[in-house]
Amino acid sequence: KVGCDLRVGSNKNTDVCGVCGGNGSSCQSRYSWSLESISACSKSCGGGFKIGMAVCKSVDESVVEDSYCDANNRPSVKSLMPCNTHPCTTK
């Protein structure tokens, strides 16, 4: 028998993360929380805020069911996000 380390007699297998001899703990999550804007910015310049809502996304940025993401890491259901932080210009 040859293991994933290419040694004869080895019992090493490739884990679900693709690591030879690994235990599956090194995988990066395929899903993560993202804040998506659900309102317009409160100001056009000088620093305003908009309301963001937490959504669960896969690595390809598509929105998926919340159950795929870790509920313990979820941002507040609705959060304030900074926007239009550039200075206002006078004419």
Q: What count of other Cβ atoms lies within 10 Å of the Cβ of residue 6?
A: 9
Per-residue pLDDT tens over the stretch 3-16: 898 999 999 998 87
Cβ atoms 56, 63 nearer than 8 A: yes
Residue 83, pLDDT > 90, answer yes
Per-residue pLDDT tens over the stretch 15-74: 877 889 888 777 777 899 998 888 999 999 999 999 989 999 998 899 999 999 989 889
Which candidate, 71, 68, 47, places its Cα nearest to that of 58?
68
Q: What is the pTM of this model?
A: 0.54
